[in-house]
Amino acid sequence: MKKIIKLFAAALAVCCLCAGCGPVQPQDEFLMWEEAPQRRDHPGVSGELLGMTVAEGSEGEEVTNVEIRYRSTSEVYVSDSPYKEVVMDYWFENAWYTIYEDPRNWNGPLMEISALNGNNDTYETSYQLEGNVFKGDILCRSGRYRWYDCCFGYTEFDWDLPE
């Protein structure tokens, strides 16, 4: 009888340990996890991620500068967006999930360029995110991401975690 109790206790302990050993799901890693709504895209513009660098913010905190080049793919492009929305989405199981939303998103007049002349006119801009993407504060998994600026549309990119 004691052997049976010991075997049962050992089996129970193994089951308890294994229950927490499954693969970590992305919704458990990202600080934000919401199904991404259908957002307005801008077919007259393409975006290209130029790079990301970590810097010191105005209050000494770590921030990440995201640099993107937008290029006109039509004759003339002018955004008619009345607000500013910047988010980042992650692709998982055939759906996009919003994992970052700029806390400075706002309604009201835009204070930056939101037009491109034709002939492959380009506009390079830098966004500042709170946190350090290289420490996994924002990009905590390898995979497909997309950056969205309501004035210029989507910029998709693949990300591999640094080793």
User: Mean pLDDT of successive 10-residue segments in the chain (163 residues)?
Assistant: 48 46 80 90 85 87 88 72 82 95 65 59 80 76 91 88 71
pLDDT of res. 103: 76
pLDDT of res. 98: 94
Side chain identity at residue 40, one-letter code = R
- Alpha carbon 94 to its chain centroid, in Å, reads 16
**Number of CB atoms found within 10 A of residue 98's CB:** 19
pTM of the model: 0.74
Contacts of 98 (CB under 8 A, 6+ apart): 32, 33, 34, 35, 36, 37, 87, 88, 89
Domain boundaries, the chain: 31-159
Contacts of 96 (CB under 8 A, 6+ apart): 35, 36, 89, 90, 146
Retrieve residue 51's tokens. 């790079």
